[in-house]
Amino acid sequence: MNNFMGILEMKVLPVANKIGSQRHLLAIRHGVLATLPLTIIGSFFVILLNFPINGYDEWIAPYRAALDVPFRFTVGAMALYAAFGVGSALAGHYKLDQLSAGLLSVLAFLITCVVPTQVMESVPGVIEAGRWLPISSLSAASLFGAIVTSLISVEIFHFLIKRDIKIKLPESVPPMVSNSFAALIPTLVVVLLFWGIRYGLGFDINSIITTLVSPLKNLLVGNSLIGGLLTVFLIVFFWSLGIHGPAILGPIIRPMWDSAILENMDAFARTGNAANLPNLFTEQFIQWFVWIGGAGSTLSLVVLFLFSKSKYLKELGKLSFVPGIFNINEPIIFGAPIVMNPILMVPFIIAPLVNVIVSYTFFQLGLIPMIMAKLPFTVFSPIAAVISTNWTIMAGVLVLLNFFISLMIYFPFFKMFEKQHLRDENKIEEGPEEKKAGIKYA
C-alpha cells in the first residue's frame, strides 16, 4: 500500500497539479463559476413559477409572463455572461485589460452565434417588421461555443498587444482611454476573423463545437450510469490525494454540468413537468444524493466520529458536524485526515459510487422526477433534494437512505482507524505514569 501511495504521489500528483494550473483551463473554471449567482437566482424564479399546489397555476397566471423575465435574462442568456467571464479571466492571467478582453469575447461570441433575422411583415401584438436579434442562441446550448470564441479572442488580443501592434497614446492620457485605443486593432482583427468565418465561409463555429462536445457531454452528464460513476470516481480519487477534485475536472466538467442543469431548467420552465427532463447526472444530482456532507459522503463519517472513544476523533467530529450539515467537509478531509490515508480512502471512494448506483435506480424506476433547479451547495441535502425535484418527498427519503448506506460502508474502516488512534492516545497517557513508576526506557 505504501508503494502504491508513493507512486501516486510521484507520478499522478505532478500531472494533476499541472493540469489544474493550466491558464486556459483556469480561465474556463473561473469564468463559468462567475455565472453561479445568475443561475441560482434564475432557479428561484423557476421554483416560484411551479409550486405544486392545487390552484396555484390559476392564481399566478396573470403574473406568469412578468415572473418569467428574470429567468430568461439569467439562465436564458447564460452563454453570453460566460463569454465575458472566461475572456476576462484569461486576460487577467496575461495582465491585459480585463474589461476590454471581456467585451471583445462577447463581441466574438455574438458575431459567431447570433444571426440577425429580417421580419418582413408586422404581426400585431407579437412582433414588428424590421431587423431583429434572436436571443434564443444565448442560452446554455451555446455555452461551449462561447468558451472557445472567448479563448481565441483573448489569445488574439494577447498576441497583438505583446508584439506592440496597437494604437499608442501619450503617457499623460488616462489609462482608461489608452486601454480603449489599445484594443482598437485587436477588435478589428477579431471582428474580421469571426465575421469572415460565419458569413464569408458560412461556417457555424458554435454548432460545430456543440456537435463535437455532445458525445462526451452525453456520457458524463446525460443519463449514462458509467459516465456518472466515472465522474464521481475521478473527483473523490483526486480529493484522496489532497487535490481539489472539481478544480482539476472543473474546466472540462463544469461547462457540461451547467449546460445540463440549464437545459433541465429551460425544459421545466416550458412544460412544468419534471419527469421528462433531458439530463440526470447534473451537478445537483451528485451534490444532493451522492455528496451528503461533501465529496466522499463524509457526513456519515463525521457522525461516527461524534461517538468515537478516541478523544481526538470525537473533538474533530464536533468541529466538523456543523460545516458538514452545510456540505463543507474540508475539516474532516484534512483533519482526520482522509488525504493519503490508506484506511479512510477506501470508503471515501466506495460510498459515493454506491450512492450513485442506488440513486440512479430510484430515478430510473420513476420514483423521483428529474432535477429542475440549481440551489446553493450549502443547503441541507434532504431539503435541497426535495425542492430540486419539484417538491418530491421521496427525494429526501433517498438522501437519508444514502446517508445510512454510507454510514455502514464507513463503519468497519472507522473502527480500524479509531483503534489506531486509541492505541496512540493510550501511549501518550501512559508515558508520565510509567516515568513516575521509575521505568527506564532504553
Q: What pLDDT, in 10s, does the model give residues 184-210?
A: 999 999 999 999 999 999 898 888 988
Q: How far is CA 337 from the centre of its chain?
A: 25
- The CA distance from 206 to 147, in Å, is 10
Please determine, for residue 433, whether its predicted confidence score (pLDDT) is greater than 80: no
Query: Concatenated DSSP letters for 262-320?
Result: HHHHHHHHHH--STT-S-SS-HHHIIIII-SSSTTTTHHHHHHHHT-SSHHHHHHHHHH
**Does the CA dihedral 432-433-437-441 come out positive or negative?**
negative
Amino acid type, 119: V
Residue 326, classified by CB atoms within 10 Å of its CB into exposed (0-12), middle (13-18) or buried (19+), is middle
Whole-angstrom Cα Rg for the chain: 26
The count of other CB atoms within 10 Å of the CB of residue 128 is: 10
Among 45-59, 209-223, 236-250, 420-434, the least confident range: 420-434
Q: Choose from 42-46, 119-123, 194-198, 250-254 the range with maximum mean pLDDT.
A: 194-198
Name the maximum alpha-carbon separation found in the chain: 104
Q: What pLDDT, in 10s, does the model give residues 286-332?
A: 999 999 999 999 999 999 999 999 999 999 999 999 999 999 888 99
Q: How far is CA 393 from CA 9, 324, 374, 382, in A?
A: 43, 22, 17, 9
pLDDT of residue 270: 86
- Grid cell locating 424: 496512540
- Best CA proximity match to 145, nearest among 200, 198, 90: 198
- The CA distance from 206 to 210, in Å, is 6
Please report how many Cα atoms fall inside a 13 Å half-sphere around the Cα of residue 434, on the Cβ side. 9
Average pLDDT over residues 75-102: 94
Please determine, for residue 242, whether its predicted confidence score (pLDDT) is greater than 80: no
Q: What pLDDT, in 10s, does the model give residues 100-137?
A: 999 999 999 999 999 888 888 888 878 888 888 888 88
- Best CA proximity match to 135, nearest among 266, 282, 255: 266
Q: What pLDDT, in 10s, does the model give residues 377-427?
A: 889 999 999 999 999 999 999 999 999 999 999 999 999 999 988 988 888
Residue with the larger pLDDT of the pair 433 and 244: 244
pLDDT of residue 232: 95
The mean predicted confidence, pLDDT, of the chain is 88
Q: What pLDDT, in 10s, does the model give residues 133-164?
A: 888 888 888 889 999 999 999 999 999 999 99
User: Model pTM?
Assistant: 0.79
